[in-house]
Amino acid sequence: MLEWMLFRTIMVAFFILANSFFVAAEFALVSVRETRIQQLIALGRPGARTVLQLKHNIDEFLPAVQFGVTLAALALGWIGEPAVAQMILQLVHNWLNVLPAHAAIYAHTLAVIIAFALITYFEVLLGELVPKSLALQRAERIALAVAGPMDVFIRITRPAVNLMNNSAALVLKLFHAPLHGEGAVHSPEEIKLIATATRRMGLLPPFQEEIIHRAIELNHVTVREIMTPRGKIFSLPADLVVEQASARIVEEQHSRIPVYDPVNGPENIIGIVYSKDISRLMHFRGVALSLGAKGGSGLTLRQVMHGLMVVPETKLAVELLQEFQERRRQMAIVVDEFGSTVGIVTAEDALEQIVGELDDEFDIAPRSPLLSSTGAMSLDGSTTLRDLGTQLHWSFPREVGVETLAGFLLAHLGHIPEVGESIEDGGRRYSVAEMDGRRISRVAVQMLTPVKAPESEDREATA
């Protein structure tokens, strides 16, 4: 009798360990980084290649793990509960002899309940929580240790696992639902949440978290939202001679300058000239003059300009970046549905949506928001609604063709305003502070209701 109880105890421990093995294997193989495994393969670590193979066949690995966990749990319930209940009854055997018959029945029922509780406790503790925590903390070491045995187990149980998968597919057909793979695929919003959670754990700097968020949001940003509007474009006529163009370029400090047809006006951009080309020509011209040459070069911008890249204003910024990379360009002309020029966009404009402002030594710092003693804020009319949303967490209704704060006021006023005209929206009063001709150059914003400053945690909760 003692030998039989000892055998059952050993079997209980075995199935708990088996369950912990499968749980540890699942979390270790899923959480270990593939790039690290590739490094270990290059270093010749035993088991690393098997780990990589299992990660690549995750749709076969995970069902096998679940099959193993289920077998271990069923066997533990079948053997463990009666064994532990019998052990408890043996311990109180002497008391049962002096109890009434009906009390002995209650004692047996109580022993079964206690046995179930003990088995559940040790199963959850040693078979789930402990191996899961160890696997997440030591994923690399455990993955290398379990890869070989798991590979053997998968080969042995492959017929049974395939039978289960095929049966599941048949059942799901009744509900018109396909059997999807179980690979670790995350939606963009889930990736943002993962980045936020990683930053909270101290494993990711806030700046990198912000880059991840902005890179994902770039899928919803159009070229129109990031371009420089036509009214702010610095361009030169194609018939301008290089010597005169050089002076203008040095004054403006631009590296690429749009060139327009002087007959049709600045709206008809026909090419782009590089400031480095002009500087090179001026250098050669200076050398020629030093050698006694006389007169001008006679070269015009039309003769030295490069072809231009044209994109529609509805193109996504992420697609623009890809096209810039493929065509090795840095600037493009933006046109509307009628083919009219509405602005220019550069690779820097798109990259700034990911990493923030990238100012060089020649950039003139824009006028920053000015705060008065009453809490009013003065903003540039060209400030985009997108920037106000991401930096100040202000919300605006989405309206077709409205991208800037000035455009927002024009859309609501319905006419060219005068200084002092205002509108109210979202608990704020927007007033025209400055006009530059027919353009709203400065907007004063007054908070009508006290607004609590947004905290980082609030942003994370809605990310």
pLDDT of 165-220, one tens digit each?
A: 888 888 888 887 665 554 456 778 888 888 888 889 888 898 899 899 989 988 88
Higher pLDDT, 115 or 237: 237
Provide the pLDDT for residue 23.
Answer: 93
- Asked whether the predicted pLDDT for residue 14 surpasses 70, the reply is yes
Average per-residue pLDDT for the chain: 82
Alpha helix (H) residue ranges in 204-268: 206-217, 223-226, 242-252
How distant, in Å, are the alpha carbons of 141, 170, 225, 334, 395 from that of 405?
55, 56, 12, 20, 12
Cα(139)–Cα(25) distance, rounded to whole angstroms?
9
Backbone angles phi, psi at 440, to 5 degrees: -80, 110
- What is the model's pLDDT at position 30? 87
Residues near 105 by Cβ (< 8 Å), separated by ≥ 6? none
User: What pLDDT sits at residue 460?
Assistant: 42
Q: Which CATH number fits domain 370-462: 3.40.50.1220, 3.30.465.10, 3.40.640.10, 3.40.630.30?
A: 3.30.465.10
pLDDT for position 384: 80
Dist CA 313 CA 319 (whole Å): 12
Q: Report which secondary-structure segment, H or E, holds 433.
A: strand 428-436
Residues in the chain: 463
CA pair distance 47, 144, nearest whole angstrom: 5
3-state secondary structure 178-220: CCCCCCCCCCHHHHHHHHHHHHHCCCCCHHHHHHHHHHHHHHH
For domain 221-355, is the CATH number 2.60.40.420?
A: no
**246 or 95, higher pLDDT:** 246
Question: What residue segments make up the domains of the chain, in order of their start?
Answer: 2-174, 188-219, 221-355, 370-462
Average pLDDT over residues 254-281: 89
Instruction: Report the distance separating Cα 390 and Cα 203, nearest Å.
Output: 24
Inter-residue contact 239 to 259 (CB < 8 Å):
no
Structure tokens, 3: 């030998």
C-beta atoms surrounding 282 within 10 Å: 18
pLDDT attached to residue 355? 85
pLDDT computed for residue 449 by the predictor: 67
Q: Is the pLDDT of residue 33 over 90?
A: no
- Report d(CA 205, CA 197) in Å as an integer: 11
Distances in Å between the alpha carbon of 319 and those of 208, 312, 335, 399? 22, 11, 16, 23
Q: Of the segments 263-277, 357-371, 449-463, which one has the largest average pLDDT value?
A: 263-277
> Which percentage of the chain shows pLDDT scores above 70?
83
Pairing of strands 370-371, 228-229: unpaired
Nearby residues of 439 by Cβ (< 8 Å), 6 or more positions away: 231, 381, 406
Torsion, Cα 366 367 368 372, to 10 degrees, reads: -170
As a whole number, mean pLDDT of residues 315-325 equals 92
- pLDDT of 459 > 50? The answer is no
Tell me how far CA of residue 101 lies from CA of 85, 86, 94, 106, 361, in angstroms: 18, 18, 14, 9, 96
| Residues 133-174 pLDDT 10s | 999 889 889 999 999 999 999 999 999 888 888 888 888 888
Q: Is the pLDDT of residue 310 over 90?
A: yes
Question: For residues 174 and 403, what is the distance between their CA atoms, to the nearest angstrom?
Answer: 49
Comparing 233-242, 258-267, 347-356, 380-389, the range with the smallest average pLDDT is 380-389
Handedness of CA 423, 426, 427, 432 (dihedral sign): negative
SS3 assignment, position 266: coil
Percent of the chain scored above 90 by pLDDT? 20
Bridge partners, 344 (sequence order) = 228, 333
Q: Is pLDDT larger for residue 110 or for residue 438?
A: 438
Q: Is the pTM of the predicted complex or chain greater than 0.85?
A: no
In 3D space, the residue among 308, 127, 315 whose CA is nearest the CA of residue 225 turns out to be 315
Q: Whole-angstrom Cα distance, residue 291 to residue 437?
A: 50
**Looking at residue 463, what is its pLDDT?**
39
